[in-house]
Structure 1
Amino acid sequence: MKVVVQVSDSDKVAQAVKSVVNLVNDLGEELEEVEVVFHQSAIVATTSAESVRPLLDRERVKVVACRNSLKAQGISEDSLPRGVKVVTSGVGEIVRRQKEGWIYLKL
């Protein structure tokens, strides 16, 4: 199974990261891939390796940052920790994944 996770609220980032770790721990090998898409105010979390490290350290988990949100916040893509992937639009990425049959989870 593949899961795309939307994180858009900066106040919910820490709990969202914990929830994704719990998801991976619980479902284990049942999960083929998890993609965590950060956008809107939550985009600031992608600038801190400490914030997203629990996700980057997991197999089968990808951390994705929205380029539109980075630009809106004045954040350079070069400032992102290694392993964070940038996509043009966070919402576009989520819609594409859903079209591909991924399970959608908003945290």
Structure 2
Amino acid sequence: MPLKVVVQVSDLNSVPQALKSCRNLLSEVPDAVVEIVFHQTAINALVKGKGFDDEIRGFVERGVVIAACRNSMRDRGIRSEDLVDGVTVVNSGVAEIVKKESEGWLYLRL
């Protein structure tokens, strides 16, 4: 059974290193099931044209779920259509993480 990992990214300044760490995780454990949850200021990295489009699309194409917190989006005036294609919107980033943990997923905060 593959590892299931939910990754929390909350700080925009940590996004480049967080994405690198996720690439490293998938390189070492290629069959891992990964969901990366973006909330708080990190949500801005999922907006089209903010410099992370290609990386986000690459993760989505690889089967990684990229989850955007609707609460963080609302706080910053970000609409679903503003997000990079393939991003999934969840109502609450922290609730998504807690649900995954309750289902036995490993938790990684980057």
Question: TM-score, with normalisation over the residues of structure 1?
Answer: 0.91
Letter of the aligned partner of 1:28 in structure 2?
Answer: P
Q: What residue number does 2:45 align with?
A: 45
Cα shift at 1:50: 3.3
Cα shift at 1:56: 2.0
Q: 2:11 aligns with which of 6, 9, 13?
A: 9
Q: What residue number does 2:59 align with?
A: 55
User: Per the alignment, in what secondary structure is the counterpart of residue 34 of structure 1?
Assistant: strand
Q: What residue number does 1:18 align with?
A: 20
Cα shift at 1:54: 3.5
Residue 91 in structure 1 maps to residue 78 in structure 2: no
Cα shift at 1:36: 0.1
Name stretches of at least 5 consecutive residues in structure 2 with no aligned partner: none
Q: C-alpha separation between the residues in 1 aligned to 2:14 and 2:96?
A: 20
8 Å CA contact 2:57, 2:85 repeated in 1 = no
Q: What residue number does 2:81 align with?
A: 78
Letter of the aligned partner of 2:22 in structure 1?
Answer: V
Runs (4+) off by over 6 Å: none
Greater helix fraction, Structure 1 or Structure 2:
1
Q: C-alpha separation between the residues in 2 aligned to 1:73 and 1:55?
A: 24
Cα shift at 1:102: 0.1
Q: 1:65 aligns with which of 34, 46, 68?
A: 68
Question: TM-score, with normalisation over the residues of structure 2?
Answer: 0.89
